[in-house]
Amino acid sequence: MLSINCLLSVVLTYLINSVPRVHAQDDNPPGFLSIDCGLPEGSDYTVSTTGIYYKSDSDLIDSGKSMSLLPALIGSSSEKYFSTVRSFPQGKKNCYTIQPSAGKGNKYLIRASFMYGNYDSLDQSPTFDLNLGADTWSKIVFEDSSKVVRKEIIHILSSDYIHVCLINTDTGTPFISALELRPLNNSNSMYKIDSGSLQTISRVDFVSVRGNGVIRYPKDIYDRRWVSLNLTNTGLGTMLDISNGNIYLVPKDVLRTASTTENIKDPLNFYWDTTSTSDLIYIYMHFAEVEKLGANQLREFNVYLNDKLWSHQPIVPGYLSVWTVYPETPETGNTRYAVKINKTERSTLPPIINGYEVYAAKKFSESGTNETDVSAILNIKSAYKVIKNWQGDPCEPEDFVWDGLKCSYHSSDHSARIISLNLSTSGLTGEIVPCIVNLTQLETLDLSNNNLSGQIPGFLSQLALLSVLNLKGNNFTGPVPPQLLENKEKGILSLSIDDNHGNNTNIEKKSNMSTPVVVGSVVSVVLLLAAIAFGIWRMRGRVFKKSGKLLQVNRSDLERKNRHFTYSQVVDITRNFQRVLGEGGFGRVYHGYVGNDQVAVKMLSPSSTQGYREFQTEASLLMRIHHKNLTSLVGYCNEGTNMGIIYEYMANQSLDEYLSGKSYGIFSWEIRLQMALDAAQGLEYLHHGCKPAIIHRDVKTSNILLNEQFQAKLADFGLSKAYPAEGGTHVSTVVAGTPGYIDPDYENSKRLTEKSDVFSFGVVLLVMITGRPPILRNEDRTHIAQWVDFIVKNGNVTEAVDPRFGGKFDVNSVWKAVELALTCTSRNSTRRPTMNMVVIILKECLAIEISRHDAYPYDSTEMFSTDPERSLVPRVR
Ligand SMILES: *[C@@H]1O[C@H](CO)[C@@H](O)[C@H](O)[C@H]1NC(C)=O
Ligand SMILES: *[C@@H]1O[C@H](CO)[C@@H](O)[C@H](O)[C@H]1NC(C)=O
Ligand SMILES: *[C@@H]1O[C@H](CO)[C@@H](O)[C@H](O)[C@H]1NC(C)=O
Ligand SMILES: *[C@@H]1O[C@H](CO)[C@@H](O)[C@H](O)[C@H]1NC(C)=O
Ligand SMILES: *[C@@H]1O[C@H](CO)[C@@H](O)[C@H](O)[C@H]1NC(C)=O
Ligand SMILES: *[C@@H]1O[C@H](CO)[C@@H](O)[C@H](O)[C@H]1NC(C)=O
Ligand SMILES: *[C@@H]1O[C@H](CO)[C@@H](O)[C@H](O)[C@H]1NC(C)=O
Ligand SMILES: *[C@@H]1O[C@H](CO)[C@@H](O)[C@H](O)[C@H]1NC(C)=O
Ligand SMILES: *[C@@H]1O[C@H](CO)[C@@H](O)[C@H](O)[C@H]1NC(C)=O
């Protein structure tokens, strides 16, 4: 037997590009991709009965081994592709990565087929998982070794790549026999999939006595497999041409035959089972009259599903013409669905049915790694013939991230991004490939200890976020590109190159005179002074509150240096920056622990000077402000280019995410009001409790964070400005903020006052009341304040209220909040209330809503019941 490594290198020799686009000859019929897994390279074939071209999988996968079944075990009628399998004795996850000819957004029928056939002579059918991308598609279980298992799905590609993966669940060796992709009509009227993809449960061709086995391509141009069912022993059929002219293009041979009943009074009965009562079931029934009826004959019937009328109108199939019946909404709530078709009173003929299809909706996560990143990393993989278990999606699922990669999962479009690539000591040869620059989010690139040669390419400086570049232990020639040196000088790039490389030995020396360090020193003076004034008691209060063991951070160390953390402590705290919580213009936020307390660590990305300034602002502000509704500072790190701020951890992310609907308690007006009040109190403190007053400048739902108890706290003080102490009543600044939340008055006048925050807060309140974004996604991109104002002026305020409250709120409470929000968003800033006033009114709104609960049975959640600190929060009685 070939060893896996030997086999790998054989495969790699043929590897030109690890994900070849479908070649012309593979694409037969056009758009089809048919892979015979385990088929040896060079034995591709065309099946004579269908004309479908099946190709070997050897250039699509670089793991697993090809195995053959004993011919005796393969049924004579079976497809040829069952005679070999690709088996995966090694690795927990093995994947086919396919780039179909029609990419993202296209609708495909994807079919995976399996037949064990005792190929490994172990006589033990394995059980394993089949994944599509990051999600489980299905569990593969065999009834017996000669049974075929087919999994089929109708799926709209969420990326240009499809990753079909086999997951070892420690119950035998995963394998696969064949993988088939068939493009469908993209029109939304063919298999409308609102609730996810559609997994085939069954697809039946009712046959007459003729009997015709399985119908597929070319009779079905989409190569759906129609299994014949001899339902009643009584069938009808026609040899005449029949019209299958609706979008489903049901094969004519399926329509030509139908089942009926012998006794005209009897209903037609059949059923299918699903795995779970929560499955959403989509049913398509196809009817066509195959008998020429006399003038006084009528065939009319109704369809009942679990004894409930399912067809909205009596069905009279058209002569030699298809009628497809399907509901707009899926069925759910049962595991058995029994169909009864009985004739109507006046019908003179028994019911018929020609075919049906049943699917269960399945949601796949839309995410996956950004395609540009996938394409770049696949190019890197093939260019360097990387032999690692690089399979499937590079970043997802999170516990299968490719070796040597780190990813961030919080980019704006929700696709994962590659932020670190470590190919140290991986035997790489040749030059640095240009596609690396397509990993635009890369922060760390470690190519050390390989045998790379050629020039160090200048394009590396296009990686705007790159802060660590290690090229040591290679064989580069020529000078180091000036831009990289400059970045190093600026202190935004930690560059490691061999000492003996060219004439640039000196660049290894640490330059302590670089600009950012000077900025850093200023910051640290500010920070230290502030720390002395405010720091130590808080340190005790917060970091050591739970007084547990400090994890790798020495307690006396912390106390001596106040809240200052060294970079290596930050590395420990974040467990080497393992978990990214989010990111913004400044850089990324990581999860970590100080002692037993969870913290969020915001690291400044070295790419912008604006970032430094904001960072500095934020750090020094946080030093002097303390309020239960402002995120509090745990410490900071200021070591050369490594600048970070460590905050208390806010377990429930932001109000923005909360409102997007994944959290518990989203349906309660009362809970939202409490959050609004929390945020208002934080802002009130900044405006009226601080001297000089502080203008936040970026109040928005994503800057209001929620802790474990869903207590809201204002965060992100990077844009904040201290109000001039005496004298002026405003500050002139460059306009900053977030569209939709920016005060238009400020935008025009450039005069910043605390009333700009009040405007933004009003927008936040409107977003919380309506559940809509600040700028509506309609054609006119109406601002939410205008929209609510319009609705209020035209009558019923409840029309503007988030429908997810289900009408459960006190109208007066909502009225008051809407009025408040509209006053806050007045164009004329002098008409806007102060935050003192806002807090008072919100307390009133909350009191009204709470008294509603006193009057009606409590209908909210219990999630706050354990928090003793929150006096205003409703208690479960
Ligand atoms: C898809 O369906 C639409 C609507 O019936 C039809 O106009 C179009 O020609 C179909 N496209 C293909 C490629 O079959
Ligand atoms: C259907 O059943 C009848 C009676 O059992 C049999 O004669 C006929 O061949 C069957 N047809 C098919 C297609 O199996
Ligand atoms: C048709 O089926 C429904 C539901 O089972 C039943 O109530 C009704 O009596 C049936 N009608 C006829 C004519 O068989
Ligand atoms: C993937 O990343 C590229 C480069 O940063 C970007 O242009 C593109 O919009 C991203 N793709 C998606 C789907 O967001
Ligand atoms: C890359 O991985 C090697 C070990 O495989 C490790 O020693 C090195 O520190 C890593 N580089 C980075 C930048 O994390
Ligand atoms: C980078 O990505 C773009 C778009 O995805 C592609 O056109 C280009 O060829 C890629 N560049 C390299 C060097 O691979
Ligand atoms: C490194 O590459 C050079 C030329 O590309 C080759 O001559 C040399 O043998 C390689 N060294 C190692 C250790 O692979
Ligand atoms: C470095 O590259 C040169 C020329 O490309 C080659 O002669 C030499 O063997 C290489 N050195 C090592 C250590 O691979
Ligand atoms: C190093 O500098 C010398 C003189 O400035 C120059 O002649 C030589 O080519 C340089 N070597 C490299 C590898 O750049």
Is the pLDDT reported for residue 435 higher than 60? yes
Question: Of 478, 487, 425, which Cα lies nearest the Cα of 460?
Answer: 487
Is there a single domain that holds both residue 690 and residue 780?
Answer: yes
What would the DSSP string read from start to end of 457-480? Answer: -GGGGG-TT--EEE--SSEEESPP
Return the CATH number at 418: 3.80.10.10
Q: Measure 90 CA to ligand 9 centroid, in angstroms.
A: 50
pLDDT, average across residues 847-863: 60
Spatial separation of the C-alpha atoms in residues 260 and 283, rounded to whole Å: 19
Spatial separation of the C-alpha atoms in residues 738 and 793, rounded to whole Å: 27
Q: Which atom of ligand 5 is nearest to the CA of 468?
A: 13
Backbone angles phi, psi at 867, to 5 degrees: -95, 105
* Six-digit token string for 78: 């079976």
Question: Of 303, 300, 304, which Cα lies nearest the Cα of 318?
Answer: 300
55 vs 231, higher pLDDT? 55
750 vs 311, higher pLDDT? 311
- Greatest mean pLDDT among 242-256, 614-628, 716-730 lies in 242-256
pLDDT, average across residues 354-360: 95
pLDDT, average across residues 448-453: 93
pLDDT in the model for residue 774: 93
Return the CATH number at 170: 2.60.120.430
* CA nearest ligand 1 atom 3, residue: 187
Is there a single domain that holds both residue 348 and residue 399?
Answer: no
Q: How confident is the model over 114-173, as pLDDT tens digits?
A: 999 999 999 899 999 999 988 899 999 998 888 899 999 999 998 888 999 999 999 999
Query: Element (H or E) spanning 255, and its range?
Result: helix 252-255
Q: Measure 439 CA to ligand 6 centroid, in angstroms.
A: 10
Spatial separation of the C-alpha atoms in residues 387 and 538, rounded to whole Å: 51
Indicate which ligand has the atom closest to the C-alpha of 382.
6
Return the CATH number at 803: 1.10.510.10
Is there a single domain that holds both residue 343 and residue 397?
Answer: no
Least reliable range by pLDDT among 88-102, 387-401, 492-506, 772-786? 492-506
What would the DSSP string read from start to end of 437-455? Answer: GG-TT--EEE--SSEEEEE
**210, part of any domain:** no
Q: Which atom of ligand 5 is nearest to the CA of 470?
A: 13
Q: Provide the residue range defining the domain that includes 413.
A: 383-513
Q: How confident is the model over 170-226, as pLDDT tens digits?
A: 999 999 999 999 999 998 889 987 767 999 999 999 986 554 578 999 999 999 999
Is there a single domain that holds both residue 478 and residue 590?
Answer: no
* CA nearest ligand 7 atom 13, residue: 451
Is there a single domain that holds both residue 498 and residue 617?
Answer: no
pLDDT, average across residues 421-434: 93
What would the DSSP string read from start to end of 381-406? Answer: HHHTT--S---S-SS-SGGGPPTTEE
**498, part of any domain:** yes
Spatial separation of the C-alpha atoms in residues 148 and 138, rounded to whole Å: 15
Q: Is 342 in the pocket of ligand 3 (CB under 6 A)?
A: yes
Question: Of 305, 236, 237, 235, which Cα lies nearest the Cα of 270?
Answer: 305
762 vs 671, higher pLDDT? 762
pLDDT in the model for residue 302: 96
Backbone angles phi, psi at 358, to 5 degrees: -130, 135
**190, part of any domain:** no
Is there a single domain that holds both residue 501 and residue 545?
Answer: no
Spatial separation of the C-alpha atoms in residues 750 and 763, rounded to whole Å: 19
**745, part of any domain:** yes
Is there a single domain that holds both residue 705 and residue 629?
Answer: no
Spatial separation of the C-alpha atoms in residues 812 and 802, rounded to whole Å: 15
Return the CATH number at 293: 2.60.120
Give me the active site residues, please: 698
Is the pLDDT reported for residue 55 higher than 80? yes
Q: Is 307 in the pocket of ligand 3 (CB under 6 A)?
A: yes
- Report the predicted TM-score, pTM, of the whole model to 2 decimal places: 0.59
Is there a single domain that holds both residue 246 and residue 321?
Answer: yes
> How many of the other CB atoms lie within 10 Å of CB of 629?
20
Spatial separation of the C-alpha atoms in residues 3 and 90, rounded to whole Å: 11
- Is 199 within 8 Å of 151 (Cβ atoms)? yes
Q: DSSP state, 369?
A: B
Specify the number of domains making up the chain: 5
Exposure string for 418-439, b = 16+ CB within 10 A, e = fewer: bbbbbbeebebeeebbebbbbb
**196, part of any domain:** no
Which of 385, 426, 429, 477 has most ligand 7 atoms within 8 Å of its beta carbon, as the pocket-test mutant?
Answer: 429
Following CA atoms 78, 84, 89, 90 in sequence, which dihedral angle do they give, to the nearest 10 degrees?
-120
Q: Is 429 in the pocket of ligand 7 (CB under 6 A)?
A: yes
Is there a single domain that holds both residue 699 and residue 811?
Answer: yes
Q: Measure 62 CA to ligand 8 centroid, in angstroms.
A: 30
**198, part of any domain:** no
- Is 417 within 8 Å of 408 (Cβ atoms)? yes
Q: Is 462 in the pocket of ligand 6 (CB under 6 A)?
A: no
Q: Measure 375 CA to ligand 7 centroid, in angstroms.
A: 28
Is there a single domain that holds both residue 287 and residue 321?
Answer: yes
| Residue at a domain's end among 486, 513, 540 | 513
**688, part of any domain:** yes
- Is 592 within 8 Å of 598 (Cβ atoms)? yes
Ligand 2 is surrounded, with C-beta below 6 A, by: 207, 209, 211, 228, 230, 233
pLDDT, average across residues 485-507: 71
| Residue at a domain's end among 648, 668, 693 | 648
602 marked as binding residue: yes
**pLDDT class of 619 with cuts at 50, 70, 90:** confident
pLDDT, average across residues 346-365: 92
Looking at every residue in the chain, the average pLDDT score rounds to 81
Q: Count how many residues are written for the chain.
A: 877
Helix, strand, coil share of the chain (percent; to 5): 25, 25, 50
Spatial separation of the C-alpha atoms in residues 380 and 405, rounded to whole Å: 12
pLDDT in the model for residue 232: 73
* CA nearest ligand 6 atom 5, residue: 372
Q: Is 391 in the pocket of ligand 6 (CB under 6 A)?
A: no
| Residue at a domain's end among 483, 513, 543 | 513
Return the CATH number at 521: 3.30.200.20
**pLDDT class of 585 with cuts at 50, 70, 90:** low
Is there a single domain that holds both residue 521 and residue 507?
Answer: no
Is there a single domain that holds both residue 402 and residue 291?
Answer: no
Question: Of 145, 171, 259, 245, which Cα lies nearest the Cα of 208?
Answer: 259
Q: Measure 714 CA to ligand 2 centroid, in angstroms.
A: 73
**1, part of any domain:** no
Least reliable range by pLDDT among 242-246, 620-624, 641-645? 620-624
